[in-house]
A and B are shown apart, each in its own frame.
Chain A
Amino acid sequence: SQTIHQWPATLVQPVGSPLSLECTVEGTSNPNLYWYRQAAGRGLQLLFYSVGIGQISSEVPQNLSASRPQDRQFILSSKKLLLSDSGFYLCAWSVWRLSSYEQYFGPGTRLTVT
């Protein structure tokens, strides 16, 4: 069966420091991969998605970037964190089922920028 991993689970970083969050998927090949941010009271915001190695689509201009160096690895990065980058970051992958894509989510990373 397919599983999705994210790490770290929690992270506290000072303003201006770099960021690297990692997401890996097991049990599937060539998945669609996604990064979301979940902010209190604001729901889920799609940040990036990728349909293949090296293919990244950005949904919202911001201080973050994403990369997909391997088929089942998706990385969220920042060179200099801002206070507004604090939030809960979710990685997801999707599968085609019943004429649509269903998404499955990882456990998330709680990022606090101080």
Chain B
Amino acid sequence: AQRVTQPEKLLSVFKGAPVELKCNYSYSGSPELFWYVQYSRQRLQLLLRHISRESIKGFTADLNKGETSFHLKKPFAQEEDSAMYYCALNPSGSARQLTFGSGTQLTVLP
């Protein structure tokens, strides 16, 4: 069975510093990977997906199949980036379920 691991439950960085939220997965095939974000008092929402290869709100994530990782990065963190971030995996793209990691609470300090 597939698994998603987010090793950091809490992460604090200062405004303007780079930030990296780690995500590792275990799955033998070619999965689809996603990052979801939940801002305070807002719904959980899709941030980005690896197949789109796009930058959203300054965040990027590259799928590294060799290291089975999908880390989320931003070169200069902003206070409004403070939120809970979840990494998620769809094992085959056609599967209807997502497997979520346990989440990382990011706090960007002023």
Contact = CB atoms under 8 A, between A and B. Distances in A.
Is B truly associated with A? yes
Interface of A: 32, 34, 36, 41-44, 46, 49, 51, 59, 90, 94, 98-108
Given A98-B51, A98-B52, A105-B43, A44 B100 contact: yes
Interface in B41-69: 43-46, 49, 51-52
What secondary structure prevails in chain A residues at the interface with B? strand
A46 B45 CA distance: 16
Contact of A59 (B45, B86, B97, B103): B97
B102 interface: yes
B12 to A, nearest CB: 16
B49 A49 contact: no
B38 to A, nearest CB: 9
Contacts of A36: 100
Contact of B96 (A42, A101, A104): A101
Q: Which residue, A46, A59, A98, A100, has most C-beta atoms of chain B within 10 A? A: A100
B49 A102 contact: yes
A106 B43 contact: yes
A89 B45 CA distance: 15
Interface in B1-57: 6, 9, 32, 34, 43-46, 49, 51-52
Contacts of A103: 46, 98
B109 to A, nearest CB: 21
Given A43-B86, A94-B96, A99-B93, A104 B46 contact: yes
Contacts of A94: 96
19 contacts: A41-B9, A42-B102, A43-B6, A43-B101, A43-B103, A44-B86, A44-B100, A46-B97, A46-B98, A46-B99, A49-B96, A94-B96, A98-B49, A98-B51, A100-B93, A100-B94, A101-B96, A102-B46, A108-B43
